[in-house]
Chain A
């Protein structure tokens, strides 16, 4: 069975559709659990009007299903508030590199 950290590392490869920053570094991943071959992901968005919601969920699901031993992905949108403070230091550095302060 995969660990939570292994799943998180896989999600570090899933980029936000708008900017070259991972969903983990953008602060959108709010919970990860693994039970056998099923991964449970809690997700929020930068805003409720985010036009890429379906795309982000599809990307999360597709990446985790690539992991050997993960057969099912459950995504729950928890609608927790999001602000710039939720971006990791690495994420802020990456955003600065593409001109987003």
Chain B
């Protein structure tokens, strides 16, 4: 393979599995490579963005927490990326160790640039983190055991981060000014996170399910995500443009900006002027 950026040749902390993993369907294999890159990049950039607050949190304990979360997230990405090399797929995305290691990012656009305020950090931890966890839950019992084992371990480590992120939401939303700032961030990020799970019936996700590589459909993931975040945010007075349809047992969220959606990289194509 050529074109590997310098410095990314040793991201593997030991081999994960010796036997080559085979997938019958090329569509499923392509989707598997994609979902691994997406998990890896979102973990990486979430860690990197939080790291930039590891000397600047509003309290000493939040500053220390940023350092701990950074270590976790970057560690998760380092454990996930080597799988891209294990799969029999030509020229997969490389793992990231630096921000500019590769031009194409598979992370949400909200994480493209350093987070400019603490409310951005809280929004990223409260909205991006749980979304990644839902996808990890979908692959936790994957037939691809190397991914399943990592997903299980990451989810175990994420329990603390998730609880901490919830407490940050409650803290910042306790007063009107903080709640208004968080509301602005949520307004900006929420549509991207709803799109992030993909349009209903997405071919790649269906191929993964057919091969036993993932368990949840696009809509199942999106609904599970909403189950997780809407009660917390609404309970803190943050307005979320969704309604619960009890008769259908699901959240209704209206139209999503699919015209701005980049399905390969799972991100919104935002214009810099509005970012």
Contact = CB atoms under 8 A, between A and B. Distances in A.
B72 A47 contact: yes
B71 interface: yes
Nearest to B74: A49
A39 B14 CA distance: 15
B152 A81 contact: yes
A75 B18 CA distance: 10
B149 A78 contact: yes
Interface in A40-58: 43, 45, 47-51, 53-54, 57
Contact of B76 (A45, A48, A51, A81): A48
A54 B13 contact: yes
B74 A53 contact: no
Nearest to B154: A48
Q: Which of B14, B72, B79, B149 has the most CB of A within 10 A?
A: B14
Contact of A76 (B14, B73, B76, B78): B14
Contacts, number: 54
A89 B150 CA distance: 28
A81 B153 CA distance: 6
A57 B152 CA distance: 22
Given A49-B75, A79-B150, A80-B149, A43 B14 contact: yes
Contacts of A45: 13
B232 to A, nearest CB: 25
Interface in B146-161: 149-150, 152-154, 156-157
Given A43-B14, A48-B154, A54-B13, A79 B72 contact: no
B75 A47 contact: yes
A76 B18 CA distance: 9
**Is chain B's binding surface mostly helix, strand, loop or mixed?**
helix
A47 B157 contact: yes
Interface in A57-88: 57, 74-81
A33 B180 CA distance: 59
B16 interface: yes
Contact of A79 (B18, B70, B79): B79
Interface in B5-27: 13-18
A77 B15 contact: yes
30 contacts: A47-B72, A47-B157, A48-B72, A48-B75, A48-B78, A48-B79, A48-B154, A48-B157, A49-B70, A49-B71, A49-B73, A49-B75, A49-B76, A49-B78, A53-B13, A53-B14, A57-B13, A57-B14, A75-B15, A76-B14, A76-B15, A76-B16, A76-B17, A76-B18, A77-B13, A77-B14, A77-B15, A77-B16, A79-B152, A81-B152
3 tightest A-B CB contacts, nearest first: A49-B75, A49-B71, A77-B14
Given A49-B70, A53-B14, A77-B13, 18 more contacts: A47-B71, A47-B157, A48-B76, A48-B153, A48-B157, A49-B72, A49-B73, A49-B76, A53-B13, A57-B13, A76-B16, A77-B79, A79-B16, A79-B149, A79-B152, A79-B153, A80-B153, A81-B153
Interface of B: 13-18, 70-76, 78-79, 149-150, 152-154, 156-157
